[in-house]
Structure 1
Amino acid sequence: MAQKHHVNHRQQYDDDVFLVKKNKKFGLVDENNNPITSVIYDDILPPENGLFRAVLNDEWYILNQQGKVMIGWADHEAKYFLRGVAQIIIDEKIGFIDKAGDIMIEPQFDHASYFDEETNLASVEKDGKEFKINRQGKPVGKTEQTLHWTDIFLT
């Protein structure tokens, strides 16, 4: 059986999951202080849809309620999940992943919204053009050239 954590600080994050802090590091424990994760993370954010975002040495991870790393990237940012997907940012380009951590749509967009609840489409911008995409990343509808504020004031 795993040894219980003795911690400096404990905060309830979910019904059965608590954030703990020890020596400026964070981890997760259950209601009896049994470890769910090691106390190694630089930060762990409150859960969204049952998943936690954690950072360790500038690397972002998504953890499930059992502390298992579901998704991890070096120097890439993991956003929150909404309607079953999360945005990821790799080399300043936005893409989408599912809850299993699989990349659904490769990071390629300069800007992106989440998928709309009614239309199931996301608005994106790539190479100065705005358009909508479906969950497979395919453009839907017409593409429009975006105007940058410098186009208006410097012409």
Structure 2
Amino acid sequence: MSGNELYNTHGYIDRADKLVVKPQFNDASSFYEGFAEVQVGQKFGFIDTTGNLVIKPQFDDVERFLEGLAAVQVGKKWGFINSKGKLVVKPQFDDIYYFSDGLALVTIGHKWGFINNTGQLVIKPQFDGAWSFLIEIIQTPTSEQIKAGNRRFKLQKNHPLDSLYLSQTRINYWRWKPRITTIKSHISI
């Protein structure tokens, strides 16, 4: 490997600055649930904490593991794999967000909804904008109640407002209309 090629590759060091995984990846991320996203050429896969390539680079893009699943992009569609690299939710969504509390935010067309970890739609795509349950905001509801899996959320107010806050037990409204944008980022802890 030439000096320029080595300079443009990524590896891993431990907390004592000891080289653990030699620089060899076009891109690499932090570890989540024992896996790190890596790019080899134009494809993405995952390594374990020892540096072994455990899910070969075969995807057009990937996101970190959360709740045992990682989002993967095949062509222009997104789905989810398990820690063995097996597709558990077929790539069928235009965009996705991580699993949180057993649900993941997905888009079909330009509408947002939620799926469970088997890919079943539990809140059909109907929102113009939404955030994951981690962030807990959904925009513009049109019904008096929303069902998510075996949970039911009743609206506290009986008139339509601009946005709502969804917790595990209730939905709270705000009268102002925030600008909500989903931003995909690679956050390292």
TM-score by length of 1: 0.66
CA displacement at 1:59 relative to structure 2 = 1.6
1:125 maps to which residue? 140
1:36 maps to which residue? 54
CA displacement at 1:130 relative to structure 2 = 8.3
Q: How many residues align?
A: 137
Q: In structure 1, how many angstroms separate the alpha carbons of the residues matched to 2:32 and 2:132?
A: 25
Deviation readout 1:68-123 (Å, 9 max, x if unpaired): 11213335212111111111111111111111211112111223344589xxx964
Q: In structure 1, how many angstroms separate the alpha carbons of the residues matched to 2:144 and 2:131?
A: 11
Partner residue of 1:24 out of 42, 45, 70: 42
1:74 maps to which residue? 92
Q: In structure 2, how many angstroms separate the alpha carbons of the residues matched to 1:116 and 1:93?
A: 19
Please list every run of 5 or more consecutive structure 2 residues that lacks an aligned counterpart in the other structure: 1-22, 163-174, 178-189
- Alignment CA distance shift 1:18-1:140 (3 Å): closer
TM-score by length of 2: 0.56
Residue 144 in 1 paired to residue 160 in 2?
yes
Please list every run of 5 or more consecutive structure 1 residues that lacks an aligned counterpart in the other structure: 1-6, 150-155
Which shifted more, 10-19 or 107-116? 10-19
2:71–2:81 CA contact under 8 A, matched in 1: yes
2:12 maps to which residue? none
Q: In structure 2, how many angstroms separate the alpha carbons of the residues matched to 1:78 and 1:114?
A: 10
2:123–2:146 CA contact under 8 A, matched in 1: no
Q: In structure 1, how many angstroms separate the alpha carbons of the residues matched to 2:176 and 2:107?
A: 22
Cα root mean square deviation, aligned: 3.6
Identical-pair percentage = 23
Q: In structure 2, how many angstroms separate the alpha carbons of the residues matched to 1:15 and 1:108?
A: 31
1:93 maps to which residue? 111
Q: In structure 2, how many angstroms separate the alpha carbons of the residues matched to 1:99 and 1:64?
A: 10
Q: In structure 1, how many angstroms separate the alpha carbons of the residues matched to 2:34 and 2:108?
A: 33
Q: In structure 2, how many angstroms separate the alpha carbons of the residues matched to 1:37 and 1:113?
A: 28
1:62 maps to which residue? 80
